[in-house]
Structure 1
Amino acid sequence: MVVLKRPRFKLFYGWYIVGACFLISVYSSGIVHLGFTAIIEPIVEEFQWSYALVSFAASIRGFETGLMAPLVGWLFHRWGPRKLLIAGGILTGLGLLLLGRTNSLAMYYGSFVLITMGVSTHFGVLPMTVAGNWFRKRVSLATGVIVSGAAVGGVLVPLVTIVIDTYLWRTAMTIFGLGALAIILPLASVVRHRPEQYGYLPDGEVSKTVDVDEVQIAAQYQDVEASLKQALKSRAFWHISIGLMLHFITLVAVVTHVMPYLSSLGIPRATSSLVAMAIPLVTIFGRLSFGWFGDRFDKRRVTAFGLALLCSSMLMFYYVGVTGPWLLVLFIAFFGVGYGGPIPMAAALIREYYGRANMGTILGISTGIVYAGGVAGPPLAGWVYDTYGSYQGAWFILAGVAFAGMVSLLTAPSVRQYQAGGR
């Protein structure tokens, strides 16, 4: 029997990889995703395009990210994470440089297609699959740290705004494009594919006699290794994917319409903007705490608890119009944790059920399903408001959507049932 131990007084290299993926997410989120709002007005003023045309780039970004997820998962197993991150960093930098030279609507949209192709490697499938490769016992915590980067990126938004206002938006895009090349490429070089290639096992465990032959090490470390076909045939995969899709539908609808809804209640934009800023910050607590709990308790139930918080927050959001703005404090707490908590659990659940061998591909398909469904959230809330002149009905519907997601996760077969052939 091989005895496993950890090297003393040495930080496991997997945590350096987690740190690199975290910082890449911070930059990409702060500049491309959360910072997008700062560039809309300057572009509208220069080209006299409508806000709808300019903001449509965000829809392109979301739709393309969903389409790219399965491809990223497939390429992960063929190229490895480092090459993909480097390619993504180059595409992001070139896309931002192209955006700074935009002179037509087609060129504007084309630059966002290029940017999205790049940043699709910085979020979701790739970093979470890397975490799944390097961690087993602490995969939820490692994933939680990585996905927190997207929320922490919010602190860059004021800086993005200052740079745009000081140097004008075209120069700012050049600065951010060069920054992507200077920051992302060195960080990408830190990332490695599998710990076995360097004499480690997941979580930093090593055998007393380290054999870098991956096949021999794999024999020492038993793990589930399901194929994509096996995953797609399993009931657990669809319960997890549908549950997370319903989670995504709810959170995207709220994040998109939070300020219009509060304005419709007569709440000043200054106050509603603080709510919009507070939400991603609170999600950090959810991402990290659920990562910790997910390593210690049933991951299905931990994730389902996040959906329960989301369901409760929707009812609170409805009653803000009845009780007054004070209820927003509870809403932010419940919604923020319910929003952020289940995010790191996606990779942890896929890793636990199906192992590492095809994790990138399986997670990519699952993420594509989640994003595809999430497209329905904002139009649904908008349609309710356009039809009834109020958002209240939308929040009740979304409370039901979140509840259905919770049920989907709770009724998923356990890992033991799946491995015993219960699908």
Structure 2
Amino acid sequence: MSRVVLRRCIVRGRIQPARTSDVRAPGPRATAPNSRDGATPRHSASHDNRSRTEVPMVSSSVGGVKSPRFFYGWVIIACVWVANFVTVSINPLVFAFFLDSMSVDLDVKRSTLVWGITIRMISGGLFAPYLGRIVDRHGTRWPGAVAGLVVGLVLIGFAFTSNIWIMFGLFFISGLTGFSIFGGNMLTMVPPASWFVAKRGRALSIATSGQLFGTATFAIAAALLIEAFGWRWAWAIFGIVAIVGVVPPYALLMRRRPEDMGLLPDGATSLPVVEVTSAVASPTPTAPVASATHREEPDFTVAEAWRTPVLWANLAATTLLMVAISPFLLFRNHYWTTLGFSPTLIAIGVALDPFSFAIANIAMGFFAERVPIRFTGVIGGVWRGFGMLPLTLGMTWPGSVVLHNVVWGIGSGTTSVFQTMMIPDYFGRTNQGAIRGSITPIMVTVSALGAPLGGYLLDAGVSYIAFFWGIFLAVTVASASFFFQKPPKHAPAATDPPTRMPTST
């Protein structure tokens, strides 16, 4: 008697007929060649006294799997790119250009004003678990359209606000959208990871580059608009741009997953692999070696992910990075101002940061498809360390602004590859929104204290050089820990058997 087990595999291309040479005796753990760091898929083959043979099915447009000439996933990437581009105006790097003008006009200290960023991060972190589950279940189409409208109206609201408490309330509302909140931006991180698996590195990098080019563009635009029209008009213009850039694309073009449109991730054209299991005992049990044309995905639930040490390690390292980097991005502009550097030079330097970020991010996205992704986190930390030297060493020549931003951008872009790919690569696509949402409250709430803490330290008389050395130490420790964050091992669940077709004799 034989049993036929049907299992869907993610494929990179057409599946070639199985050969006798494609089987081998199992060791302690059968690992797919394309599984980085030896990650064990959730539904890996068990090594018992049964022989297995893979029976591939021919690529076709039947059986619900289309063979598209153009993969719709790239439309999804375009929508996310635009959304990332137009919603960066509220992130700390761009907001830094508004600090001086707003603090004078509203008659508040800079350390008080940056509490708005903290409040925004906290509200985004607290709402992230709910937003993550909404995105996993319903997709990002209508949640994204509504969020785009809300964030645009909030930015316009800044233009009419004269009370700091009303502004704090607007910051709180903007955080609920998840846009431009690291770890909480489900509406732009989940779609690329859902539509791509084998090409996930490049897809996420291209989508993320929208935020980077947007930061460069809006940093320069903020400096010019504030000087020409004032900070209120600058916020109003940014709000209109956010609404136009997010609402129509998400409402008209965004879709949840390729399977909802009868497609496979990455634009693959192969149908599922059929695995035939024989119940006849074999003296030399064998298991098929995973073909180089496909890559199985892990599939963790939220509870299972929380039981893995790597999730806790990544949460601690990422939180430490965010605590350190948030005040750094906010106050480095003021440091350069105290050295007598012109606002134009600072704006150009800050604009170069996201450009170098984007170039490094895209390049390392391709690189991460071929090596363990944790290496990108370590390499990024090295670049960031070198980028800190002009500040920690107290360089006062104007070129140090450009040097710092270019090198820092390369490091940030490289590290970002690991941070964006880690959840879907280590824990799977199915629950990535819920898993990311479950860690965001802790990560964002703790790291949100970084901006006001940095402001209070500087207001209390701590020198900028000591401030920068503290950030350098935090970045070094967190980045070094990425090297040890290997994919979790996930044994097959006894209560989660494969789907079986009727038996035959």
Q: Provide TM-score, normalisation by structure 2.
A: 0.70
Q: Provide the C-alpha distance between the structure 1 equivalents of 2:91 and 2:171, rounded to a whole number of angstroms.
A: 9
> In the alignment, is the contact (CA less than 8 A) between 1:14 and 1:135 conserved in 2?
yes
Q: Normalized per residue, which structure has more helix?
A: 1
Alignment-mate amino acid for residue 489 of structure 2? Y
Q: Percent sequence identity over matched residues?
A: 23
Counterpart mapping for 1:13-412 below 5 A:
13-30=72-89, 35-36=94-95, 48=107, 51=110, 53-102=112-161, 104-120=163-179, 124-153=185-214, 154-159=216-221, 175-189=237-251, 190-207=253-270, 222-263=296-337, 266-270=339-343, 271-321=345-395, 328-379=401-452, 381-382=454-455, 385=458, 389-412=462-485
| Cα distance change on mapping 1:288 and 1:246 into 2, 3 Å | farther
Q: Provide the C-alpha distance between the structure 2 equivalents of 1:172 and 1:403, rounded to a whole number of angstroms.
A: 36
| Cα distance change on mapping 1:159 and 1:273 into 2, 3 Å | closer
SS in 2 for 1:12: coil
| Cα distance change on mapping 1:389 and 1:117 into 2, 3 Å | closer
| Cα distance change on mapping 1:198 and 1:221 into 2, 3 Å | farther
Higher mean C-alpha displacement, 49-58 vs 81-90: 49-58
Q: Provide the C-alpha distance between the structure 2 equivalents of 1:171 and 1:234, rounded to a whole number of angstroms.
A: 48
Higher mean C-alpha displacement, 24-33 vs 189-198: 24-33
> In the alignment, is the contact (CA less than 8 A) between 2:80 and 2:207 conserved in 1?
yes
> In the alignment, is the contact (CA less than 8 A) between 2:93 and 2:329 conserved in 1?
no
Alignment-mate amino acid for residue 419 of structure 1? H
Distance apart, 1:204 and its partner CA: 0.9
| Cα distance change on mapping 1:406 and 1:119 into 2, 3 Å | closer
Distance apart, 1:233 and its partner CA: 0.6
> In the alignment, is the contact (CA less than 8 A) between 2:356 and 2:407 conserved in 1?
no
Unaligned runs of 5+ in 2: 1-55, 274-293, 493-505
Higher mean C-alpha displacement, 228-237 vs 92-101: 92-101
Q: Provide the C-alpha distance between the structure 2 equivalents of 1:56 and 1:99, rounded to a whole number of angstroms.
A: 15
- Post-superposition CA distance 1:121-166 (Å, at most 9, x none): 8873232111111011111211112222222113134445656666
Query: 2:57 maps to what in 1?
Result: 2
Query: 1:418 maps to what in 2?
Result: 489
Q: Provide the C-alpha distance between the structure 2 equivalents of 1:172 and 1:239, rounded to a whole number of angstroms.
A: 40
> In the alignment, is the contact (CA less than 8 A) between 2:195 and 2:266 conserved in 1?
yes
SS in 1 for 2:136: helix
| Cα distance change on mapping 1:256 and 1:40 into 2, 3 Å | closer
SS in 2 for 1:90: helix
> In the alignment, is the contact (CA less than 8 A) between 2:322 and 2:447 conserved in 1?
yes
Higher mean C-alpha displacement, 325-334 vs 123-132: 325-334
| Cα distance change on mapping 1:114 and 1:380 into 2, 3 Å | closer
| Cα distance change on mapping 1:241 and 1:177 into 2, 3 Å | same
| Cα distance change on mapping 1:378 and 1:156 into 2, 3 Å | closer
| Structure number with bigger Rg | 2
SS in 2 for 1:11: coil
Q: Provide the C-alpha distance between the structure 2 equivalents of 1:171 and 1:263, rounded to a whole number of angstroms.
A: 24
Higher mean C-alpha displacement, 385-394 vs 181-190: 385-394
Q: Provide the C-alpha distance between the structure 1 equivalents of 2:458 and 2:112, rounded to a whole number of angstroms.
A: 21
Distance apart, 1:196 and its partner CA: 0.8
Distance apart, 1:399 and its partner CA: 2.6
Question: Number of residues paired by the alignment?
Answer: 408
Alignment-mate amino acid for residue 146 of structure 1? A
Unaligned runs of 5+ in 1: 211-219
Q: Provide TM-score, normalisation by structure 1.
A: 0.82
Distance apart, 1:361 and its partner CA: 1.0
Q: Provide the C-alpha distance between the structure 2 equivalents of 1:386 and 1:261, rounded to a whole number of angstroms.
A: 13
Q: Quote the RMSD (CA, aligned, Å).
A: 3.5
Q: Provide the C-alpha distance between the structure 1 equivalents of 2:417 and 2:154, rounded to a whole number of angstroms.
A: 28
Distance apart, 1:21 and its partner CA: 0.6
Q: Provide the C-alpha distance between the structure 1 equivalents of 2:103 and 2:479, rounded to a whole number of angstroms.
A: 41
Q: Provide the C-alpha distance between the structure 2 equivalents of 1:230 and 1:392, rounded to a whole number of angstroms.
A: 43
Q: Provide the C-alpha distance between the structure 1 equivalents of 2:174 and 2:490, rounded to a whole number of angstroms.
A: 40
Q: Provide the C-alpha distance between the structure 1 equivalents of 2:181 and 2:147, rounded to a whole number of angstroms.
A: 7
Asked which structure has the greater RCO (Cα within 8 Å, sep 6+), the reply is 2
Higher mean C-alpha displacement, 296-305 vs 87-96: 87-96
SS in 1 for 2:197: coil
Q: Provide the C-alpha distance between the structure 1 equivalents of 2:59 and 2:390, rounded to a whole number of angstroms.
A: 49
Q: Provide the C-alpha distance between the structure 1 equivalents of 2:198 and 2:149, rounded to a whole number of angstroms.
A: 34
SS in 2 for 1:298: coil
